[in-house]
Amino acid sequence: MHARTAQARSRNRDQFREDVVLVARKMFLERGIDQTSMALLGQALGVSKPTLYEVFPSKQILLEAVFKSAADDVDYGWILRGGEELPPLRVFLDQTAEGYKKLMSSPRSIEAFSLLVREGGHSSEVKDAFGRYLAIPATTAAKKLITHAISIGQCIPMDVDVVQKMMSAPLFHVVLDRTLFGDRGMNPALVEAYIDAAVAGLKALLCTDAAPVWRPAQIS
């Protein structure tokens, strides 16, 4: 009997944590982190501050949980697989186009990115939290693939950091458009067309087997 009661309490506690994180995400987006106090969050959930602090002893710990939740809603598995399987660069770029389109068709992914764009400059702690859960793993995998592609001649010789930033730029531009303009920004068809055009440009620029292939002018 006592064991079943303990299990029920544990399930209730886990569910309450999830509820707190979801409401906090929504309030952070609508009000901002600074304007969302633990007291206001408690009011929105219908609980007292002491009850909140039982599961999240500080706002910083809550922030960590919110950004981990946001990162979990962003499916970037193709990037991690790319860092392990090292497919041809052209294939990886095609996968990237489809991955970006899938991300931008998911309301929860858009919300997660919007939270980063809106609140990423809030503090180094916020940026560090999102970096641990999303940016660093994805960036590390992408750079591994890019380094390999350059080493075997699939990619023109360029700084790896620059190539990685070029690859992530289309997604950033679409996320920024959605964050700033919402439904007044690019419609879904335009988003897909933009991503396809941007990735086609990347293939023409970076892939050594692309045609036409652009090369930077040599400065003597």
Q: Which domains does the chain have, with CATH numbers?
A: 2-57 (1.10.10.60), 71-206 (1.10.357)
Confidence of residue 59 (pLDDT cuts 50, 70, 90): confident
Give per-residue pLDDT as tens, 10-33. 558 888 999 999 899 888 888 888
Kindly tell me if the per-residue pLDDT of 103 is higher than 50: yes
Kindly tell me if the per-residue pLDDT of 91 is higher than 90: yes
With 0-12 / 13-18 / 19 or more C-beta atoms within 10 angstroms meaning exposed / middle / buried, residue 161 is: exposed
Residues 6+ apart with CB under 8 A from 33: 63, 119, 122, 126
Under 8 Å between Cβ of 71 and 133? yes
Give per-residue pLDDT as tens, 201-212. 999 999 997 544
Residue 90 CA to residue 68 CA, distance in Å, equals: 31
Q: Is the dihedral of CA 91, 95, 96, 97 positive or negative?
A: positive
